[in-house]
């Protein structure tokens, strides 16, 4: 007798050019099985071939869900395609999949094994449905990333201009062209900032969120817009630890037995735009705010490395933006001290109970 199917999951490991896909299913006795695997191109023709293959290898009597990681921008076209076809879709933060993968008895990490792990995650967990982010967040992400690229280009040209000007025989025409390019870039950067302000102003929800976020010391309009854009308004974020991992500001330790003791380092595996956006605000917060200055000094004193103190403040600022966004309450001076005091009081109460 054929057992009734409860779930069917398409686990997809997404890269720039291809999709590694595994099919999994769970029966009425909650037995799980990964039973098919195939690769497809990461383009519209590949998406169409994927759908045909999935239809051929699944049954219409059981629910079908597609599950994938949030991998930069490479998963987005497929996500919009599947959403447009009304398929159930879940997009999961990478750290969730990584942590789940560690629980599996898999020694070799490959694209195939990762797609199977994603399928198993979909079968054993209950990932939430993904809905496309609002247009304003998508536009903010596009224009803030464009600004970042223009800023990088302007810095490069300024360095080249300086090198040319200090040469023994500088080329006047070259210098003139470089100065014109810098002026052009300045104009484009100014245009983008006007677009950021207009995009925020035209969306009531984002306008409200930005007003609250801007109460945090060191956080300006561009930083606030970048954070909201890169997280789609924290759509996939459920806690602070997940947020810091997504930004790549989480600390990684490498210890093995008694002989290997690596230095703690931030992972830098997350969203580089979030990390970059937090650097200058952290420096401003350290310079102008006693609370964040105290965090910096404590970490610097313990480690002897200034950058570790700066990263600690970056992490705290980003977590504060998340807290403000979720609670819909403005920043309160002394908030962190009050939270630390509450935690200490809770620990003392738990100790008394024990």
Indicate whether 192 pLDDT > 70: yes
Is pLDDT above 50 for 194?
A: yes
pLDDT of residue 157: 97
Q: What's the pLDDT score for residue 96?
A: 86
Do residues 233 and 140 make contact, with C-beta atoms less than 8 angstroms apart? no
Q: Is the pLDDT of residue 343 over 90?
A: no
Q: Please indicate whether residue 33 or residue 95 has the higher confidence score (pLDDT).
A: 33
Averaged pLDDT, 297-315: 92
Please say if the pLDDT value at position 23 is more than 60.
yes
At residue 106, the pLDDT reads 78
Nearest to 19 by CA among 79, 85, 97: 79
**55: Cβ contacts below 8 Å, ≥ 6 apart:** none
pLDDT digits (tens, 9 = 90+) for 115-130: 999 999 999 998 999 9
Beta-bridge partners for 11: 22, 67
Lowest mean pLDDT, pick from 184-188, 276-280, 318-322, 341-345: 341-345
Tokens of 257: 């037995």
Average pLDDT on 266-276 reads 80
CATH match of 5-124 with 3.30.450.20? no
Q: Which residues pair with 90 in a beta bridge?
A: 67
Q: Report whether 27 contacts 5 (CB < 8 A).
A: yes
Residues 182-207 have a mean pLDDT of: 96
Averaged pLDDT, 304-319: 93
Mean pLDDT of 301-314: 92
Helix (H, G, I), strand (E, B) or coil at 208: helix
Rounded to an integer, the average pLDDT of 282-309 is: 92
Mean pLDDT of all residues in the chain? 89
Q: How confident is the model at residue 171 (pLDDT cuts 50, 70, 90)?
A: very high
pLDDT band of residue 263 (cuts 50, 70, 90) is: low
Tell me what the mean pLDDT of segment 198-210 comes to: 96
Residue ranges of the chain that CATH labels 3.30.420.40? 5-124
| Average of per-residue pLDDT across 232-254 | 82
- The per-residue pLDDT for range 40-64, each reduced to its tens digit, is 999 999 999 999 999 999 998 899 9
Distance CA 217, CA 332 (A): 10
Residue found by looking up tokens 């933060």 in the block: 93
Question: Could you read off the pLDDT of 133-165 as tens digits, one per residue?
Answer: 899 999 999 999 999 999 999 999 999 999 999
- Whole-number Å distance between alpha carbons of 354 and 341: 20
């Amino acid at each position: 007798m054929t057992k009734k199917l409860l779930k069917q999951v398409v686990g997809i490991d997404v890269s720039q050019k291809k999709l590694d896909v595994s099919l999994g299913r769970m029966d009425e006795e909650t037995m799980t099985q990964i039973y098919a695997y195939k690769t497809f191109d990461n383009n519209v023709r590949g998406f169409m071939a994927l759908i045909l293959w999935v239809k051929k290898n699944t049954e219409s009597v059981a629910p079908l869900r597609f599950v994938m990681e949030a991998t930069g921008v490479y998963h987005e076209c497929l996500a919009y395609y599947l959403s447009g076809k009304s398929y159930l879709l879940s997009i999961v933060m990478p750290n969730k999949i990584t942590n789940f993968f560690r629980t599996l008895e898999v020694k070799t990490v490959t694209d195939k094994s990762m797609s199977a792990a994603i399928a198993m995650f979909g079968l054993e967990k209950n990932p939430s449905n993904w809905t496309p982010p609002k247009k304003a967040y998508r536009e903010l992400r596009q224009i803030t990333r464009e600004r970042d690229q223009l800023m990088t280009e302007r810095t490069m040209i300024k360095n080249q201009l300086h090198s040319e000007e200090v040469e023994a025989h500088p080329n006047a025409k070259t210098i003139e062209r470089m100065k014109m390019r810098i002026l052009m870039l300045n104009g484009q950067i100014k245009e983008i900032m006007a677009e950021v302000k207009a995009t925020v102003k035209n969306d009531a929800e984002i306008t409200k969120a930005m007003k609250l976020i801007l109460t945090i010391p060191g956080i300006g309009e561009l930083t606030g817009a970048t954070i909201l854009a890169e997280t789609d308004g924290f759509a996939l974020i459920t806690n602070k630890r997940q947020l810091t991992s997504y930004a790549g500001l989480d600390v990684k330790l490498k210890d093995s037995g008694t002989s290997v003791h690596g230095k703690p380092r931030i992972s830098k595996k997350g969203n580089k735009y979030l990390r970059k956006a937090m650097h200058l605000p952290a420096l401003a917060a350290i310079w102008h705010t006693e609370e964040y200055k105290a965090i910096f000094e404590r970490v610097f004193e313990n480690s002897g490395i200034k950058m570790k103190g700066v990263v600690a403040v970056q992490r705290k600022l980003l977590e504060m933006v998340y807290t403000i966004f979720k609670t819909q309450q403005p920043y309160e001076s002394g908030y962190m001290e009050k939270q630390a005091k509450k935690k200490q009081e809770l620990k003392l109460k738990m100790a008394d109970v024990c």
